[in-house]
């Protein structure tokens, strides 16, 4: 029943997507608006197909229908309800279902949002592109990653349940959907970029139409990445939150190019420049999400997060190649129209700063891509095995991160066109003092070492600059000053500063030690007192927890544990973390002995400011929301600075309302 | 960009010293703070600290991508103990790391060496950044040269034609209502 329902959904989605591509494509070539408008029906059918597959799989999981092979492989009657629901995205085939369902949702959202412009070729080509992407993912479900295979379970069969690590923390229910909403969300601006190239309307219309879509996708991706790092901090138990692991890098690369795009797009909106560059960034972002899926799902790279391997590698790499080929081909074909009319007057200007931002973000993404695939390249060339890990990425990202912080401090105060030294002196003095003040404060409370203290200073500088903008905006317009892209963006900057400072502090001043304690023993470490009280055994439906009860500075008891799962032979640890606003003490059990020996070996990791990573993430999400809501409306393609005398006549601004209506 | 090009404005306050005074003071504060941060007293790293900093650079031989410091695998616990012994014996960080390279091969280190083909992973990002910056400089050069350029005779002819309202001249022009290149299908 569930297999049939799921297969019906997959077939419906696949057929609707393919027919949609053919119909809309034919309509676009023959200029038949009646056919182009049919995209609405196909989009809805694709969505229904995705939802059917999703419901069928959830139903199979909830009813423990082991005749579905995916459920037999990943489900278990002992898995608690929340993790059972999340089992769908704990393995490859199910995560493709989630991907397709979300893509269907975005398709319907686009059709609804642009319902009055469905016959517009720009929207038509965008929907065509999205339908092609949908066809690819439904093809994956129909063929290489079929989630609805039959299985005949023997009597009394029970599945193994999802990977124990994936049923150890409730964040597992939220982190992957968020990440996918981000990944898939970038399909929308990508589709419009392709549509702009296909129709030749490479001006600012499509940018404005997709501006909010891009922001929303970026917001989800940001939230997904931060929730993921929170999950690994709370679950993996090694005291860290970011390991520069291939899976993490795969999500971080599109984030970097997407962030670069969000900034450089403003140059195009204001000045009509950087057209090729923006389209390339957007296509790179989308291509990197597919490449990331390939890297993490095909088993070419080992990773602690790659919970599945499968045979979809060739399909994904082929699709990636198709995206790159089509994009490069289209850009080459439209080269004449893409030539920018303007130029940047001075490097010391808002647009100059955005260019520098793009160079840094591009270099950052390049470093991460290089470090991630370098072991593969070396092995292919001379068969050597090497590793590129945390120390490499930390060392490379530190100077880039600092340069970005500096830019975050200077760029917001720069005017468009050209800045004077006088203006910078005036606008930057208070942010600079805030930066110096944070350095003094950091050194006064005991921070040592050049790099972290500089990072704190730059963080303060950037925060001061963002704060200055927000204060000025709030003074001018009250609370409404905080809404809108520019000032919502400044709130996002504040969140980024929190994360950067927390990252610098925690990675510079981490202290780690192991202690073997008997009940009643006290250990002193990094200014904290640990008292081991004894063991405790706790039975839950899916697992048995072997806890070590520890008091940290008299609080607690905190109970890190080793968990034995009912169905697996594996034992995994769950750390216990005491967070304060100044530092985190994370405990994890390395060894807990049974029987006569009551002693326990625990690892203690003390890191400052960890909690600010999560607070910073929340601030970033909040800032994104502020940026999405419409602020004080200014027609985005109005000229803001008067053209230089004698170079260009003032242009009429025709029909701009229509463009903005969909922004 | 240069101070010379600045017109006096509402916020410039007279003498150069008063203008740059706060920045000089700021520079002094920053230099003083940084030198304290670098040369100030700090706790000497304990043996435990050295063990954890070395073990963060050594890969767990049996796991995927984790360092010895992170992993709980028995092999990693063994290596951590071994590192502690070697630190106590007075070996330097590099001696300890090269011992493991001799035993497990280059892949045991999470930081690739800067020799042979491995050096590329360090050099390429620097080269890429340099090329990007050089590209920016060239583009800005070209832009600032264009600034000096005057309209070509062809441009003048087109402008004159447009001013006369000459249909033949204006047909070659881009659509004046289409400042943002939206094209005719808009």
Residues 15-54 (B) with a CB less than 8 A from some CB of A? 19-20, 22-23, 26, 29-30, 33-34, 36-38, 40, 42, 48-49, 52
Query: B61 to each of A125, A354, A377, A570, how far by Cα in Å?
Result: 51, 43, 20, 19
Quick: pLDDT tens for A46-68: 999 999 999 999 999 999 889 89
- If one counts every other C-beta atom within 10 angstroms of the C-beta of residue B145, the result is 10
End-to-end distance of chain B based on CA atoms, in angstroms?
Answer: 40
**pTM of structure:** 0.87
B146 is in which domain, residue-wise? 120-170
Which of B92, B111, B130 is where one domain is finished? B111
pLDDT value, residue A136: 95
Domain-ending residue, one of A564, A588, A608:
A608
Nearest to A226, CA basis, from A196, A182, A184:
A182
| Alpha carbon A21 to chain centroid, angstroms | 29
C-beta atoms surrounding A472 within 10 Å: 15
Let me know if residue B14 belongs to a domain.
no
Is position B7 within any domain? no
DSSP secondary structure letter of residue A405: H
- Are residue B87 and residue B130 in the same domain, yes or no? no
Share the mean pLDDT of chain A: 87
Query: Does some domain include residue A10?
Result: yes
Least confidently predicted of A201-210, A589-598, B113-122:
A589-598
B70/A238 Cβ within 8 A: yes
**Does B133 lie in the same domain as B166?**
yes
What does the block give as tokens for A21?
């591509």
Domain-located, residue B37 = no
CB A36 within 8 Å of CB A118 = yes
The residues pairing with A150 across neighbouring beta strands, listed in sequence order, are A68
Q: Which two three-digit tokens encode residue B114?
A: 């800067």
pLDDT in tens, A251-306: 999 999 999 999 999 888 888 888 888 999 999 999 999 988 887 776 666 655 55
Q: B18 phi and psi, to 5 degrees? A: -70, -25
Which 3 state secondary structure label does DSSP give A183?
helix
Q: Is residue B40 part of a domain?
A: no
Q: Choose the weakest-confidence range: A423-427, A530-534, A622-626.
A: A423-427
Whether B86 and chain A come into contact, CB under 8 Å, resolves to no
| Cα dist from A263 to A268, A277, A356, B8, whole Å | 10, 12, 10, 32
Identify whether A267 is part of a domain: no
B67 contact residues in A (CB cutoff 8 A): 389-390
Each residue of A362-372: pLDDT tens digit? 999 999 999 99
B21: left (phi > 0), else alpha (psi -120 to 50), else beta?
alpha
Structural domain includes residue B97 = yes
Asked if A391 and B146 come within 8 Å (Cβ–Cβ), the reply is no
Name the residue in chain A with its Cα closest to that of B148.
A647
Residue B159 placed within a domain: yes
- Residue A249 in any domain: the answer is no
Q: How many domains does chain A have?
A: 2
Interface contact B20-A202, CB threshold 8 A: no
In a domain, B106, yes or no: yes
End-of-domain residue from the set B88, B111, B134: B111
A163 neighbors A133 (Cβ within 8 angstroms)? no
B51 and B103 housed in the same domain: yes
Is A422's CB within 8 Å of B36's CB?
Answer: no
Domain boundary among A97, A129, A153: A153
Residue A341 confidence (pLDDT): 65
Within-domain flag for B65: yes
Domain boundary among A608, A638, A657: A608
Give yes or no for residue A378 having a pLDDT over 80.
Answer: yes
Supply the range of the domain harboring residue A85: 1-153
CATH assignment of the domain containing B85: 1.10.8.640
Assign A650 a pLDDT band (cuts: 50, 70, 90): very low
DSSP A568: -
Integer Cα distance of A224 and A174 in angstroms: 8
ipTM > 0.85 for the complex: no
The answer to whether residue A91 sits within a structural domain is: yes
Picking from B8, B37, B127, B173 by the largest number of A CB atoms within 10 A of its own CB, the best residue to mutate is B37
Does some domain include residue A414? no
A587 sits in which H/E element: strand A583-592
Contact B107 A511 (CB under 8 A): no
Closest among A347, A628, A646, A589 to A482, alpha carbons compared: A628
Domain-embedded: residue A466:
no
Q: CB of B67 within 8 Å of any CB in chain A?
A: yes
B106 in the same domain as B52: yes
Number of domains in chain B: 2
Same domain, B102 and B158: no
Is A71 inside any structural domain? yes
């Amino acid at each position: 029943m569930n297999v049939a329902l799921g297969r019906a959904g997959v077939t419906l989605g696949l057929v609707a997507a393919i027919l949609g591509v053919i119909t809309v494509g034919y309509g676009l070539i023959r200029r038949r608006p009646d056919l182009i408008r049919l995209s609405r029906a196909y989009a809805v059918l694709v969505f229904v197909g995705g939802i059917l597959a999703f419901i069928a799989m959830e139903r199979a999981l909830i009813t423990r229908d082991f005749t579905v092979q995916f459920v037999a492989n990943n489900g278990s009657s002992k898995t608690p309800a929340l993790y059972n629901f999340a089992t769908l995205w704990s393995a490859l085939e199910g995560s493709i279902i989630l991907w397709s369902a979300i893509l269907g949702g975005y398709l319907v959202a686009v059709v609804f949002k642009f319902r009055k412009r469905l016959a517009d070729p720009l929207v038509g080509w965008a929907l065509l592109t999205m339908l092609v992407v949908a066809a690819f993912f439904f093809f994956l479900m129909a063929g290489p990653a079929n989630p609805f295979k039959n299985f005949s379970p023997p009597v009394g069969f029970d599945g193994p349940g999802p990977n124990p690590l994936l049923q150890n923390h409730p964040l597992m229910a939220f982190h992957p959907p968020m990440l996918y909403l981000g990944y898939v969300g970038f399909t929308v601006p990508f589709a419009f970029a392709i549509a702009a190239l296909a129709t030749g309307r490479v001006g600012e219309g499509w940018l404005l139409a997709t501006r909010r879509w891009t922001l929303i996708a970026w917001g989800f991706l940001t939230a997904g990445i931060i929730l993921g790092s929170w999950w690994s901090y709370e679950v993996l138990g090694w005291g860290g939150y970011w390991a520069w692991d291939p899976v993490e890098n795969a999500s971080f690369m599109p984030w970097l190019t997407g962030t670069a795009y969000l900034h450089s797009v403003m140059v195009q909106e204001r000045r009509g420049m950087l057209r090729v560059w923006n389209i390339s960034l957007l296509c790179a972002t989308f291509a990197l999400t597919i490449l990331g899926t390939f890297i993490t799902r095909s088993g070419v790279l080992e990773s602690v997060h790659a919970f599945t391997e499968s045979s979809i590698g060739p399909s994904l790499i082929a699709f990636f190649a198709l995206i790159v080929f089509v994009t490069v081909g289209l850009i080459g074909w439209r080269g004449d129209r893409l030539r920018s009319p303007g130029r940047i007057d001075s490097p010391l200007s808002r647009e100059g700063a955005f260019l520098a931002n793009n160079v840094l973000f591009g270099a950052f993404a390049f470093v991460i891509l290089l470090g991630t695939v370098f072991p593969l390249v070396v092995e292919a060339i001379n068969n050597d095995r090497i590793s590129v890990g945390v120390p490499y990425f930390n060392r490379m990202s530190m100077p880039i991160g600092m340069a970005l912080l500096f830019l975050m401090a200077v760029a917001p105060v720069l005017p468009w066109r050209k800045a004077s030294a006088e203006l910078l002196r005036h606008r930057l003095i208070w942010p600079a003092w805030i930066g110096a003040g944070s350095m003094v404060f950091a050194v006064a409370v005991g921070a040592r070492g050049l790099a972290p203290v500089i990072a704190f200073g730059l963080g303060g500088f950037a925060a001061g600059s963002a704060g200055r903008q927000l204060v000025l905006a709030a003074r001018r317009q009250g609370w409404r000053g905080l809404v809108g892209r520019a000032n919502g963006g400044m709130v996002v900057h504040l969140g980024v500063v929190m994360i950067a400072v927390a990252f610098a502090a925690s990675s510079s001043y981490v202290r780690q030690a192991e202690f073997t304690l008997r009940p009643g023993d006290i250990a002193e470490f990094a200014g904290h007192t640990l008292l081991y009280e004894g063991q405790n055994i706790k039975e839950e439906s899916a697992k048995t927890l072997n806890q070590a009860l520890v008091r940290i500075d008299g609080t607690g008891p905190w109970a890190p544990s080793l968990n034995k799962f009912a169905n697996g032979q594996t034992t995994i640890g769950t750390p216990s973390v005491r967070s304060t606003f100044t530092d985190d003490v994370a405990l994890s059990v390395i060894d807990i002995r049974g029987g006569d020996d009551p002693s326990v070996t625990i690892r203690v990791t003390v890191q400052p400011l960890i909690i600010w990573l999560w607070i910073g993430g929340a601030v970033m999400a909040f800032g994104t929301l502020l940026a999405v809501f419409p602020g004080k409306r200014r027609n985005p393609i109005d000229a803001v600075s008067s053209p230089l005398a004698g170079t260009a006549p003032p242009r009429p601004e025709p029909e701009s309302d229509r463009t903005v209506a969909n922004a | 960009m240069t101070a010379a090009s600045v017109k006096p404005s509402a916020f410039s306050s007279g003498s150069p010293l008063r203008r740059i005074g706060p920045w000089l003071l700021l520079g002094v504060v920053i230099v003083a703070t940084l030198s304290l941060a670098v040369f100030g007293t700090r706790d000497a790293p304990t043996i435990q600290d050295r063990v954890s900093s070395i073990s963060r650079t050594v890969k767990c031989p049996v796991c995927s991508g984790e360092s010895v410091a992170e992993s709980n695998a028995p092999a990693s616990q063994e290596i951590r103990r071994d590192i502690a012994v070697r630190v106590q014996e007075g070996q330097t960080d590099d001696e300890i790391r090269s011992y493991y390279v001799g035993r497990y091969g280059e892949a045991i280190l999470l930081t690739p060496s800067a020799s042979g083909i491995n050096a590329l992973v360090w050099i390429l990002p620097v080269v890429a950044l340099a090329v990007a910056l050089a590209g920016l400089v060239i583009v800005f050069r070209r832009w600032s040269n264009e600034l000096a350029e005057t309209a070509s005779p062809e441009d003048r002819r087109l402008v004159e034609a447009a001013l006369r309202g000459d249909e033949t001249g204006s047909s070659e022009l881009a659509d004046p209502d289409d400042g943002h290149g939206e094209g005719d299908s808009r």
